[in-house]
Structure 1
Amino acid sequence: MSILEGSSILVTGGTGSFGKAFISRILSDLGPRRVVIYSRDELKQYEARQLLGDDPRLRWFIGDIRDEHRLRRAMHDIDYVVHAAALKQVDTAEYNPFEFVRTNIIGSQNVIEASIDAGVKKVVALSTDKASSPLNLYGATKLAADKLFQSGNHYAAGYTTRFSVVRYGNVMGSRGSVVPFFRGLAERGESLPITDERMTRFWITLPQAVQFVIDSFDQMNGGELYVPRIPSTRILDIAEAVAPGAPRHIVGIRPGEKLHEEMISGDDSRRTIRAGDRYIVLPTIADWGFVMPDGEPVADGFAYQSDSNDEWLSVEEIRALVDGMR
């Protein structure tokens, strides 16, 4: 039984790929009392209504996480919060850096403030592999947000609210994923653009990401940064799985893009333990009554990177996952 059962839940960025999958899952399996979908785009809310229907447990809030007053109103009588709202396009961030700061950093602090004031019990914030040893502005803003949420437990030490972070890699089939992009090009008979033949990525499915977040709510005490143990893929294997035999051409790595992904750096590994299906990166300072989770320290020099991962998806396994998304 999950702590989310029978509770009141708010999802920022609730009309994104993760938000819709998470809300659909908890409505069908966890019996929440109320679910607040908080997002700033009325068209996406309209489209989400078509998908989720007029379930009486749903509440629809138009609002931006930059607006702390609106967040406070939306969080009235909320037990748990999933913070999924963010600006995410790497190249867009390089051209509009302060907009990403305002949403991903200042907006995250607004979520922290509003959650504490509303008496929310637990908050899980979604991070990204790009927050580990960030190379681009987007990753830097998400690293700052991760630090805010872990340190938010100091800020809320005299209150009931606790904060943790979930960090994972690419979500197969999400909006902006390479899978639907490659598939669309192949259906039109066009060549697939490959950034670099050596490129590798971590890979997780939407249902896996949703379950990981649900499990994190049940396990967290506040301050943990959870990283799932997931397989890696090669970009050439993804192309072959999605569009066998399709022509390809090399376009080069985009500004701010990494050849291989990293979810835990070598420096952070000194504060990392392995526990079942996940790694847990512990907070640097934890004097709010942090409860040490069970687990084994990772080996000296460990870094969780997509090119040195010990688990890989084959072309056949990728194709089976992709076909299951249709």
Structure 2
Amino acid sequence: MTQGTVSRIAIPVGDPNGIGPEIALKTVAAYAGRDDVALTLFGPANVLRDTADMLGLGEALAVASVEPSAPVLQDGFRPGEINAQAGAAAVDAATRAIEATQRGRFDAVVAAPHHETAIAQAGIVFSGYPSLVARVCGQPEDSVFLLLIGGGLRIVHVTLHESVQHALGRLSPELVADAARAGVRTLARLGIDTPRIALMGINPHAGEGGLFGTEDGAITEPAAAQLRAEGFDLTGPAGGDMLLASRAHDLYVAIFHDQGHIPIKLLSPQRASAISIGADVLLSSVGHGSAMDIAGKGVASARAMIETVAMLGHVTAPATTKGKAP
């Protein structure tokens, strides 16, 4: 961020019945009084008001910029409960924030966690924020990928919320290369211009020369050759265990959901950032769920969201958070 400018961040509050409204308000309180970050909340006004009252953060809400989403939740607002109204509200808030960012009103979106079952109950086809960003931005869904950042690792996923069988059916050298390219472009926006890339294999040991399967020879090896021809500094394809153990790379390319999620969640279970990359709009959610078991209790930590705002806003995160359980 250029000195003297303000980073404008849109914050959709996720599932209203989860911890999203709570951590969004705690994040606003943490950045209160700062002149380098401007935060705008997207979510049902009654949910934000009631949550602010519960947390004793009415003052933070009063000075925050709020763009209520529609419809306002009434019967559907029950913290800890999974229901269709809350699922629809989460998608509505995120959609409005993405649209506003695409129009240039904001620099990035930091989204609170959604609940996929609640969204499914609302009859909405949804497989995560990357697919939503793609649809709102008018791009193919397979052009937007998930980049997880946490525990000193940055891992971009070629496939995400789908069965392994389905993922294998649509893998191609170009899809793998596109994920790596999207990761490189995003790292440049985060200040890393020439990253060292590690490409994980599809099979153990990346197939061990065909001993453990031929998929790597047909997919990841041609992708690696293409990326090297384009000038990228790339290792692999190789076994993900070996690559991660080396900790020698700036960007790791995982083929499947669990290849990338397990190491991040192990090293940074509550403080990871999940960035949807490949579209004009940069959206990051937090690397944890909606925590229905503690929703409405005022004990959720907002640290992951606070640090994600700092990362996308190119600013320093507050050392402490106002309110309970930062």
* Structure 1 and Structure 2 fold alike (TM over 0.5): no
